[in-house]
Amino acid sequence: MRLRWLRAPGLIKRLFPDFVWRYNSDEKKVYLTFDDGPIPESTMWTLDLLKEKGVKATFFCVGDNVRKFPDLYRRIVEEGHAVGNHTHNHLKGWYNNTQKYVENVILASEYIDSKLFRPPYGLIKTSQAKYLSTDYKVIMWDVLSGDYRQDITPERCYRDVMKKVRPGSILLFHNHLKSEKNMRYTVPRLIDELKQQGYDFGICH
Residues 119, 133 contacting (CB under 8 angstroms): no
**Amino acid 71: pLDDT:** 98
pTM (two decimals): 0.94
Residue type, 101: Y
What pLDDT does residue 3 have?
A: 45
CA nearest neighbour of 125 among 105, 141, 101, 106: 101
Instruction: Name the residues annotated as catalytic.
Output: 35, 174
Helices 180-196 and 40-53: crossing angle in degrees, nearest 10, is: 10
Measured distance CA(7)–CA(21) in Å, rounded: 10
Residue 70 identity (one-letter amino acid): P
- The DSSP 8-state label assigned to residue 134 in this structure reads T
The 3-state DSSP class for residue 164 equals helix
Return the SS3 of 42.
helix
Contact 30, 165 (CB under 8 A): yes
Taking the chain (205 residues) in runs of 10, the rounded mean pLDDT of each run is 52 80 93 98 97 98 98 98 98 96 98 98 94 96 96 97 97 96 98 98 97
CATH class assigned to 18-201: alpha beta
Q: Which helix (H) or strand (E) holds 180?
A: helix 180-196
Give CA 22 to chain center in angstroms: 12
CA–CA dist 6, 172 (Å, integer): 10
Residue closest to 139 by CA, chosen among 33, 36, 4: 33
